[in-house]
Amino acid sequence: MQAQIENNEKPSLNFLEEIIEYDLKNGVHKSIITRFPPEPNGYLHIGHAKSICLNFGLAKKYGGKTNLRFDDTNPIKEDVEYVDSIKEDINWLGFQWANEFYASDYFEQLYSWALVLIKKELAYVDDQTLEEIRLNRGTVQIAGKDSPYRNRSVEENLRLFEQMRDGKYADGEKILRAKIDMAHPNMHMRDPIMYRILHADHHRTGNKWCIYPMYDYAHGESDSIENITHSICTLEFDVHRPLYDWFIEKLEIFPSHQYEFARLNLSYTVMSKRKLLQLVKENYVSGWDDARMPTICGLRRRGYTPESIRNFCDDIGVAKRDNFIDVGRLEFSLREDLNKRANRVMAVLDPIKLIIDNYPEALTEELYAINNPEDQDAGSRNLSFSKNLFIERDDFMENPSKKYFRLAPGQEVRLRYAYFVTCTSFEKDSEGNITTIHCTYDPASKGGNSPDGRKVKGTIHWVDANDCLNAEVRLFDRLFVSEMPEKVEDGMTFIDNLNPNSLKIISNAKIEKSLANVNQLDKFQFERLGYFSVDYDSTKEHLVFNRTCTLKDSWTKQN
Ligand code: ATP
Ligand code: MG
């Protein structure tokens, strides 16, 4: 046994795991602390799930802990509604934070550190307008111009900054800047803004503050307050890292370090919260939890499981270069998981009547069916069977092609779990639509087994018309028609790439009786049709199912 373990190849580490293992081995840190820092200005999406799995996953793997920190430094866009949803989504994904913190809890500490920097002549109050600041920043090739207020005395800066806090000035009248280098090759180091005046109510601090710290100043310092050892963020922040380090170095506080990985981009969807908000506000979707949204709550409503999302995030790994992931990989992970946990049931989405003419009128049989071949513990159930059934309209063809193995005049098929039936005739209405199919059955084929070795190629699903339930079923297609919806021609927006046919509602599906008492988010495989999840709109009187995804291969093809 021992030898076998030693011979096994060690699974390779991603670059963050390598850094952490190095740090732990060399005593850089005794244990690790990571954080997940959402801004409460929207609902979490699958990209955030990647970051959550990474931050919580690393801490778990190395016996550390993870803080949840709301990055609530911009009072204008933030809301408690978002705070609550974010917590719910992280929990649902299966993670528990060590502490719940708010950047706004650190406002007082951040303010005193700003005073420290002023006293060290490393920060100053600037009276220039934002426009002037922008113009004087220069370009990558051209050095910026020092502000005329750059050399104010420490005393004057302290007085002005205090007055800023006390509400003496209007929005935009003054700002606090770090005093670094207006000719620095990294534009972020050209005297970046630390504080701006915003006379706005904050969701937690109310009107206590009218100056708010900028991301670059607040983020690293918040990390440091919490002794975050590995502050993991997405790649676009790598140019901010020198500034992150500069503040920590000048303040001589706990040396948190920032590490960047590539953000997750998925095909056929958008992930910026601003764009998702627009879809909600302009009613292109029914809400943040519309089952077509890439939000965690949308995926949950659609029928995704936390395991399928976590497996997907693990599976795609951690990249250092931006890339696009095919949404098919997310769906693959979903199918794999649902295949194991979803019970099989029968439902007919586009019902047409099938009458077995030689089956006794008054008879009802209870046929044995197993619930999930992938899960022995899932048990079995009885399916009621009678003379009158529903089958899927497209499982019958009046004039079949050679390769059509389902029902057609004179053709024999297997009714799943039941009998072999042969189509003898069919009825049409005045418009030529087929209304009823007539069959005869072979009583010797009970259970769907061939009585004499004769083969039938097609197996179709059905429900007992005398003993079934009605249901509404929502079928989804991709929300966008293009792989990269944000890539648009001039004059167009991502909205132009919306798929007009992304939702199809079926109001008269027929489902087997065993589904009478389902609960919201219960998951099933409707045989041959896909995986389905019970929607929040579902009631006992009006059942509603969402199609989570189709089956990769329907078993008809294999039969
Ligand atoms: P958006 O651009 O959608 O508004 P954001 O980055 O502004 O997202 P935050 O609330 O600031 O959203 O993000 C919280 C954390 O989640 C950050 O650490 C951020 O880097 C990470 N994150 C956001 N989007 C993605 C993504 N697509 N892939 C991986 N991580 C992400
Ligand atoms: Mg952000």
267 is a domain residue: no
Q: Does residue 12 fall inside a structural domain?
A: yes
Read off the pLDDT of residues 326-337 as tens digits, 9 standing for 90 and up: 999 999 999 999
Residue 51 near ligand 1, beta carbon < 6 Å: yes
The C-alpha atoms of residue 437 and residue 268 are separated, in whole angstroms, by 41
- What value does the mean pLDDT take over residues 7-29? 87
Looking at the structure, do residues 289 and 380 belong to the same domain, yes or no? no
Confidence check: pLDDT of 559 > 60: no
- Domain with residue 361: its CATH number is 2.40.240.10
Q: Give the whole-angstrom CA distance, residue 166 versus residue 123.
A: 18
Does residue 273 sit within a domain? Answer: no
For residue 269, being part of any structural domain is answered with no
Statement to judge: residues 430 and 545 lie in one domain: no
Atom of ligand 1 nearest to the CA of 55: 18
Q: Which of 420, 443, 461 is the last residue of a domain?
A: 461
On whether the CB atoms of residues 173 and 136 are closer than 8 A, the answer is: no
Boundary residue ending a domain (461, 490, 517) = 461
- Residue 76: its pLDDT value, please? 86
Residue 251 confidence (pLDDT): 98
Q: Which domain holds residue 399?
A: 347-461
Angle between helices 306-316 and 80-93 (to 10 degrees): 80
pLDDT tens digits, one per residue of 116-132 = 999 999 999 999 999 99
What's residue 389's pLDDT? 98
Same domain (yes/no): 96, 145:
yes
Verify that 78 and 202 share a domain, yes or no: yes
The three-class DSSP label of residue 111 is helix
Is 271 within the bounds of a domain?
no
Residue 216 and residue 76 in one domain: yes
| Residue 540 belongs to some domain of the structure | yes
What confidence score (pLDDT) does residue 557 get? 40
Closest CA relative to residue 411, chosen from 450, 440, 444, 443: 440
Annotation marks residue 487 as catalytic: no
What confidence tier does 322 reach under pLDDT thresholds 50, 70, 90? confident
Question: What mean pLDDT value characterizes the chain?
Answer: 95
Q: What is the pLDDT of residue 9?
A: 56
Report whether residue 48 contacts ligand 1, using a CB cutoff of 6 Å: yes
pLDDT of 229: 98
Distance 50 CA to ligand 2 centre (A): 15
Q: Do 73 and 163 share a domain, yes or no? A: yes
Ligand nearest to the CA of 70: 1
Reported as a pLDDT band with limits 50, 70 and 90, residue 77 is confident
Instruction: Kindly give the distance from the C-alpha atom of residue 39 to the centroid of ligand 2, in angstroms, as a whole number.
Output: 6
**Is pTM beyond 0.85 here?**
yes
Q: What average pLDDT does this structure show over 64-74?
A: 96
Give the domain-ending residue among 204, 226, 261.
261
Are residues 320 and 392 located together in one domain of the fold? Answer: no
Residues 252 and 287 in one domain: no
The structural domain count of the chain equals 3
Q: Are residues 321 and 213 in the same domain?
A: no
Same-domain check for residues 333 and 480: yes
Ligand nearest to the CA of 272: 1
Name the 3-class secondary structure at 21. Answer: helix
Rounded to the nearest angstrom, the distance between the alpha carbon of 320 and the centre of ligand 2 is 19
Q: What pLDDT digit, counting tens, does each position of 248-263 carry?
A: 999 999 999 999 999 9
Q: Is 38 touching ligand 1 by the criterion CB < 6 Å?
A: yes
Return the percentage of the chain with pLDDT > 70, whole number. 97
What DSSP assignment string belongs to 393-414?
GGGB-SS--TT--SB-TT-EEE
Residues 430 and 417 in one domain: yes
pLDDT class of 80 with cuts at 50, 70, 90: confident
Q: List the catalytic residue out of 60, 77, 137, 263.
A: 263
Same domain, 28 and 68: yes
